[in-house]
Amino acid sequence: MKILVINAGSSSLKYQLFNMEDTRVMAGGVLERIGEKKGVLTHTISIREREEKIVQKQEIKNHKLAMHLAISMIVDPKHGVINDISQIDAVGHRVVQGGEAFGSATFIDDTVKKAIRSNNPLAPLHNPPNLIGIEVSEELLPGIPNIAIFDTEFHQTMPPKAFLYALPYEFYTKFKVRKYGFHGTSHKYISHQAAQLLKKDIETVNLITIHLGNGCSISAVEKGKCIDTSMGMTPLAGVMMGTRAGDIDPAIIGYLLEQTGMDIKELDRVLNKKSGLKGICGMNDMRDIHDASQKGDPNAALAVDMFCYQIKKYIGAYAAALGKVDAIVFSAGVGENDGLVRAKICNKLSNLGIRIDTKKNLSKQPKPFSLHSPASNVEVWVVPTNEEFQIAKEVKKIMTCSNQNRK
Ligand code: ADP
């Protein structure tokens, strides 16, 4: 079964073609700066006998052209990996906000598209480009099933005590104001990987999964099911991130509107793009921040301290929510690569049974790897995330069920 995974963002489109027989990526790529004159297409082929990378600079006017270019590369006689688009069995689309309507992967039809559109106000930056990806795919790949996988799906198992805000209840019933959580495909993928590494059934393990990339989120996973997560109604909540503020006192918003004369749109931009690590030290890439900190920049050191402290507090909170924790799992750009951050987060957590081996943590090792010491009651792992593969897995599952039902 060949599955094309599409992740359409506002100015970029990522794609990967999986051969699910050997679960390998055949080809993939990213189209960046859609809508600008200086677009870039990067296409990588990774089939057994060929490893190739092609970079093309060209104007990519819109998402339709981006998708067209992606498909052309996949079937290209020279750079492609299949002869014809009819060899693609299904297309899996990442959709950021599924609201409460979607608890699992879903075949896309007009009703589903309408439901996704109805969630646009909850994810104005993400859902509209996701929908464009779907519509372009329907047009360019007629007859091939399109399946939506929602970032919010994994978190739909949270109980009301975890997902409700202490606001008038009608804000939830009338306006859908609640915690939805994001990065769900990543948390789901690393939870299942971790269970395998622990040699345990997913339904028997309790985990704290920590996704630290540009966006950061932490989940409490009880017996394979999410019971709480740090992001909220939007991906702005939780711990501070590269450029996002994370949790702040809500009264700050009104106060700053009054004090600065900014309008709400401007302030929203500040909270999303100019806050977090960047807000504190002017940089959002953790590698640059460490460099600056080593050179004596006090705000760079402060930004790392704040980041690690906030994550440490979530570990404490989720350890309390779960009662018993089998493992803590670090993932994504910072979580997978930054031993200094991991060490700072795990420092002084021995009262929770968490002890790491400093040498294991800082040494370069093939991933996944464990970093807990023999004395630790809780295992600590680095597990690389793979959201695209998780999407392909979900698509294969729903396609197989549907094929069996048809027989
Ligand atoms: P995204 O959320 O965009 O998918 P990633 O998971 O790729 O992000 O993470 C990107 C971030 O990872 C970068 O901004 C950078 O801060 C961090 N990062 C990547 N490599 C390293 C590294 N070796 N050490 C520390 N941080 C790293």
Average model confidence (pLDDT) for the chain? 95
For residues 11 and 222, which has the higher predicted lDDT (pLDDT)?
A: 222
CATH architecture of 200-387: 2-Layer Sandwich (3.30)
Beta bridge partners of 31: 13, 41
Cα 286 to averaged position of ligand 1 atoms, centre (Å): 7
Q: Check pocket membership of 214 for ligand 1, CB cut-off 6 A.
A: yes
Measured on CA atoms in the order 104, 22, 88, 137, is the torsion positive or negative?
A: positive
C-alpha 237/C-alpha 233 separation (Å) is 8
Q: Check pocket membership of 11 for ligand 1, CB cut-off 6 A.
A: no
77 pLDDT higher than 90: no
C-alpha 269/C-alpha 189 separation (Å) is 31
Quickly tell me which residue has 């985990």 as its tokens.
Answer: 207
Q: Check pocket membership of 291 for ligand 1, CB cut-off 6 A.
A: no
Instruction: Specify the pTM.
Output: 0.94
Q: Residue 97's pLDDT is what? A: 93
Q: Check pocket membership of 387 for ligand 1, CB cut-off 6 A.
A: no
CATH 3.30.420.40 for domain 2-150, yes or no, is yes
Buried b / exposed e across 91-129, counting CB within 10 Å, b at 16+?
A: bbbbbbbbbeebeebbebeeebbebbeebeebbeebbeb
Cα 1 to averaged position of ligand 1 atoms, centre (Å): 32
Catalytic residues: 151
87 pLDDT higher than 90: yes
Q: Check pocket membership of 39 for ligand 1, CB cut-off 6 A.
A: no
The tens digit of pLDDT for each residue in 273-285 reads 999 999 999 999 9
Least confident of 117-126, 147-156, 347-356: 117-126
Q: Residue 70's pLDDT is what? A: 94
- Retrieve residue 282's tokens: 């002017």
Strands (E), 245-299: none
For atom 26 of ligand 1, which residue has the closest CA? 334
Cα 288 to averaged position of ligand 1 atoms, centre (Å): 11
Atom of ligand 1 nearest to the CA of 212: 6
Axis crossing angle, helix 298-322 with helix 286-294, rounded to the nearest 10: 130
Which pLDDT band holds residue 400 (cuts at 50, 70, 90)? very high
Q: Where are the domains of the chain?
A: 2-150, 200-387
Fold agreement between 2-150 and 200-387: yes
Q: Check pocket membership of 285 for ligand 1, CB cut-off 6 A.
A: yes
SS (H, E, C) 291-327: HHHHCCCHHHHHHHHHHHHHHHHHHHHHHHHHCCCCE
Atom of ligand 1 nearest to the CA of 289: 16
* Burial category of 380 from C-beta neighbours within 10 Å (exposed 0-12, middle 13-18, buried 19 and up): buried
